[in-house]
Amino acid sequence: MAALLSKSGADLLFSGSDWDFATLARAHDAIEQVAREDLRLDVYPSQLEIITSEQMLDAYASIGLPLMYRHWSFGKHFLYQELLYRKGGRGLAYELVINSDPCIVYLMEENTMALQALVTAHAAFGHNHFFKNNHLFRQWTDAGAILSYMDFAKRYIADCEERHGTDAVEAVLDSAHALMDQGVFRYRHPPKLSSERQREGIRERLDYEARIYDDLWRTLPSAKASEQLDETEEKAADRKRALNLPQENILYFLEKNSLVLEPWQREVLRIVRIIAQYFYPQRQTQVMNEGCATFVHYTIMNTLFDRHRINESAMLEILHNHSNVVFQPAFDDPRYSGINPYTLGFDMMQDIKRIATAPTAEDRDWFPDIAGNGDWRATLLDAWANHRDESFIRQYLSPALMRKWRFFVLNDTAGEAHYEVGPIHNERGYEKVRTALANSYDIGETRPNIQVTDVDLLGDRRLRLQHKVKDGILLDEKSRDATLRHICKLWGYEVSLAGIDMQTGASIYERSSAEIVQ
Amino acid sequence: MPIFIDRRLNPKDKSLGNRQRFLRRARGELKRSIREHFRAGKIADIDSGQNVSVPAGGTDEPRFEEAGDSGRRQHVLPGNREFVTGDRVLKPGQGDGAGSKPSREDSEDDFRFMLSREEVLELFFEDLELPDMVKLNLKEVLAFRPRRAGFAATGAPTNINVGRTMRNSLGRRLALKRPKNSELEAVRQELEELEAGCQNDAASARIALLLAELELLERRRRVIAYVDPVDIRFNRFEAQPVLNANAVMFCLMDVSGSMGEREKDLAKRFFVLLHLFLKRRYDRTEIVFIRHTHEAQEVDEETFFYSTQSGGTVVSTALEEMRNVIDARYPPSDWNIYAAQASDGDNFVSDSQHCITLLEETIMPRCQYFAYVEIIDERESHIFGATPNGTALWHAYSAVKDNWPNFQMTRIAKAADIYPVFRQLFTRQPAAGRKGR
């Protein structure tokens, strides 16, 4: 008995709540062993950074990136987060993870050792695996280049501020931030980030052009006016062809085609656009990303506990934190603030594990390809790699889980005094509830669909945008006008936005920047 | 083995720059909302130290947002207990609906952050300043104090710097080889010894030689002065301006029967604002409260604002009282004197001329600034708004105003006027106006 006790004691990764770097490393290695051998995770090397709560607030403010250019809006977010934190309205995250190679994980110094282990499993393996393997991240972001790109962006914008003044840079950034949602490629892959050397080359060329600029050339008489006119016409026609309309990435369009922007302003737009693109996959995979990380930490911690590497008190603390994370109040609970992505993701992944190992007749009916296949690890790895939230829910949300969550659909038509309850968690409703939930995670459905459709560069140069109105959902007029104003600033000429009903093609509204008081 | 980096010792406040940018950005917005707040709210409230919360309205970040009140949506909610398809639920806000409106919106744009009273006042007073304060401090300073500033070759005998003078003298004596006393003594002694000793040719020749030498030496000593005027150095003093940042503010108010509750209230508000302003601007500020009816008295702040007294109206009594207080306690050489008078314009008929005389001869020459605020009826405001017509006191003061650029007068009809008037009275003087004094 004594031998057994001492043996299990020697195997413990840690005891008590204090941590030091040696213990952290031991825990990390043990977790890594489970993650790689047991769950067959494939991760970037991780870089664990210990930070204080203030530094965590700082990290919040710069939208989670370790390097960020300066802008007042980050200060505003900081003040807001700080206010919440100081008032005790919101605790800070235990960790923050950055999709980069190596994967940077921030650990709060206040965490107890048990929490550090939990967070290591959650972020350094769960999120890390997801970042490295999910197809959206693989195809749309470049984890290896983001840190050096942010370093460049920060220096470039600081440099611009020095040259052109803070206010001028701020004005461009304000406008660009307003269009961040419209600054991503949705339908085609963005070009890879150019290498450091190429960027240097581009900047050097711009510098050179600025240096050799000579105003004298402008005063030379134009020899053949008619010929030049033909030339410009041809050029304009070429440009029009090259505009590649319609274009959903408004920032990209402005960067390439605006007639009033200086080279440095285009570069600023480009920086904002690339950052928006970098975060685009994260917005589409919230449930999966958090679900994956939560599932991974839950599984790893339980495995370690089963192997007597973690003692009961630590496990209790871990489970307590875990259940806080996956807390989901019902819709009529005052604490309800939407569906908790951690909970939904975690529950769905647990459910997939159940379907793969102990399916019911219903599961076999709904999921013939995975039910009872026994290999839940491979099933999950495949789901993590090949889905985003919308397709994941559409594919894997089971009737059993819908009953557990007691999902129902509420039809909300503006102007009516009542909601109408739509499909609920019963035989007739499963498909429809699942579709409705999947749609609510489809970024194409939930964000306004606005594209550049036409611009007559030879005529009035009016930039025509089109908003495809779905289900009669219009834009908030105040923010719409303010955003149009920002587009107008970047475009330099009139901008108009037309609302077209998606189903009927009928024109619903038209708003031009000329009607908006500047 | 993973890579661990301990960032805890990294410099803090990484986002301080962003925070400052935000405050600067919000500054205009904050000032605007504070101005609104002051215009509409009770001015006396400011002093209670309560915080003012400011919406971050001008710093919202617009983007295309869906309007919540349009179109058809489907919400998927968890936790159904009793609903079946087809049920109708009253929307919240339309009665006691059971359903809570699902919302995933972040309420960040609504956040209000608190500014302390100090910060609010700082913004409020930002571009206000007592008139010509800058000029007084930096240019036209009245008081000087001599301050040692090196040495000069000229000056008063009392300022001779002996050490420096003697050093020059010693140097000059060495350079010009002025005979020392000891050399002279040596020659004299030898001469005495020779004269006392036996007289022979060699001795007399030697004596003649010594005498000649002695004469030469003495002549040199006469020609080369021990202390020459060129040696003399004086301590040099520079008149250095002393910042005269003592300010005294005289608050004069008519509390007679002709001042109704409304007029008093307006006047009080004006003074409260002034009072706050002075407390804020000056490190060392004194305020003298003088209230008057047909007689004037200096009172404390509490009495000034909150106690009543009835009687006639003789404005000159207050001016006399003010003059007396200045003579007794605030010599104009040491104090910047500011005065503000609030009245409804009534005055005893024959007193106005006396007021003009008092102002012209004794008070205005000593004052940096004199502000007269006349509280008029709201119905009168459109009559008197921009015309020279007005009460007896207004007429009288108009004459003073023409002679003294640092005399200002204006009218207030309602609470909302106070702040603009206050700004107008105490706003930075344009460059041309500075030459006035």
Q: Which residues of A touch B99 (CB under 8 A)?
A: 331-332, 410, 419
pLDDT at A463: 86
With cut-offs at 50, 70 and 90, classify the pLDDT of residue A256: confident
Q: How far is B79 from chain A (nearest CA, A)?
A: 4
- Contact yes or no for B355/B319 (Cβ under 8 A): yes
**Chain A residues 136-155 with CB within 8 Å of chain B:** none
CB contact under 8 A, A479 and B113: no
pLDDT band at A91 (very low <50, low <70, confident <90, very high): low
Tell me which residues of chain A, numbers 312 to 341, contact chain B at a CB-CB cutoff of 8 Å.
328-334, 336-339
Q: How many residues belong to chain B?
A: 437
* Angstrom distance (rounded) from CA B45 to CA A489: 42
Q: Which of residues 243-272 of A touch B (CB under 8 A)?
A: none
DSSP category for residue B102: P
Collapsing DSSP to helix, strand or coil, B55 comes out as strand
Give A514's pLDDT tier (boundaries 50, 70, 90).
confident
Residue pairs spanning A and B at CB distance below 8 A: 271
CATH number of the structural domain B246-434: 3.40.50.410
Q: Flag if B100 and A331 touch (Cβ within 8 Å).
A: yes
Which helix (DSSP H) or strand (DSSP E) does residue B111 occupy?
none
The secondary structure of residue A50, as a DSSP letter, is E
> Cβ–Cβ of A50/B84 closer than 8 Å?
no
Q: How many CA atoms lie within 13 A of A121 on its CB side?
A: 27
Report the mean per-residue pLDDT for chain A. 83
| Chain B residue nearest residue A445, CA to CA | B73
pLDDT one-digit tens code per residue, A210-230 = 777 777 776 766 555 555 556
Which pLDDT band, with edges at 50, 70 and 90, does A96 fall under?
Answer: confident
Mutate to test the interface with B, among A48, A479, A490 (most CBs of B within 10 A): A479
Q: Note whether A433 contacts B: Cβ–Cβ < 8 A.
A: yes
Which residues of chain A does B74 touch, with a Cβ-Cβ cutoff of 8 Å?
409-412, 422, 436, 439-440
Per-residue model confidence as pLDDT tens for chain B (437 residues): 678 888 887 776 666 777 777 777 777 666 666 666 655 544 444 544 344 455 555 567 888 888 877 788 888 888 888 888 888 888 776 544 333 444 433 344 445 565 556 556 666 555 444 444 433 433 344 556 788 888 888 888 888 999 999 999 999 999 998 888 888 899 888 888 888 877 778 888 888 888 898 899 889 888 888 888 888 999 988 877 665 567 788 888 887 766 766 777 777 777 767 766 666 666 667 778 888 888 888 887 777 766 667 777 788 888 888 888 888 888 877 777 888 888 877 777 778 888 888 888 888 888 877 888 888 777 666 655 555 566 777 878 888 888 887 787 888 777 667 766 666 666 644 433 333 33
With cut-offs at 50, 70 and 90, classify the pLDDT of residue A345.
Answer: very high
CA separation for the pair B435, B430 (Å, rounded): 10
- Residue with the bigger pLDDT between A190 and A283: it is A283
CB atoms B77 and A410 under 8 Å: yes
Q: What contacts B137, CB < 8 A, 6 or more positions away? A: B243, B244, B245
3-state class (DSSP) for residue A495: strand
Question: Testing the interface with B: which of A29, A43, A76 to mutate, by most B Cβ within 10 A?
Answer: A76
Residues of A in contact with B57 (CB under 8 A): none
Q: Decide: A423 and B75 in contact? Cβ < 8 Å.
A: no
Q: Quick: pLDDT tens for A115-170.
A: 889 988 998 999 999 999 999 888 877 878 888 888 899 999 999 999 888 888 98
Residue of B nearest to A57 (CA): B15
Residues of A in contact with B26 (CB under 8 A): 76
Element (H, E) at A418: strand A418-424
- Give me the interface pTM, i.e. the ipTM: 0.78
pLDDT score at B57: 52
Q: What is the pLDDT of residue B429?
A: 47
Residue B70 with chain A: CB contacts under 8 Å: 414, 472-474
Q: Which residues of B touch A331 (CB under 8 A)?
A: 77-80, 99-100, 102
pLDDT at B370: 84
Closest CA to A481 of A518, A446, A516: A516
Q: What is the pLDDT of residue A303?
A: 92
- Smallest CA–CA separation between A70 and chain B, in Å? 6
Query: What pLDDT, on a 0 to 100 scale, did the predictor assign at position A352?
Result: 92
Which of B4, B14, B24 is nearest residue A48 as measured by Cβ atoms?
Answer: B4
First to last CA, chain A: 82
pLDDT at B48: 41
- Residue B61 has its nearest CB partner, among A28, A178, A428, at A178
Listed in order, strand segments (DSSP E) in B258-344 are 284-292, 296-299, 336-343
Residues in chain B with CB shorter than 8 Å from the CB of A28 are 1-2
Residue A189: pLDDT band with limits 50, 70, 90? low
Burial of A238 (0-12, 13-18, 19+ CB in 10 A): exposed
- Put simply, the answer to whether A418 touches B89 (Cβ < 8 Å) is yes
Q: Touching check for A437 and chain B: CB below 8 Å?
A: yes
CA distance B94 to A417: 7
Boundaries of every domain in chain B = 157-237, 246-434
- Sign of torsion over alpha carbons A394, A397, A399, A405: negative
Residue in chain A nearest B79 by alpha carbon: A330
Closest among B358, B425, B422 to B396, alpha carbons compared: B358
Is A486 within 8 Å of B62 when comparing Cβ atoms?
Answer: yes
For the residues A184-189, what does the mean pLDDT come to? 76
Residue labelled with tokens 């923050």: A96
Tokens 């301006």 locate to B241
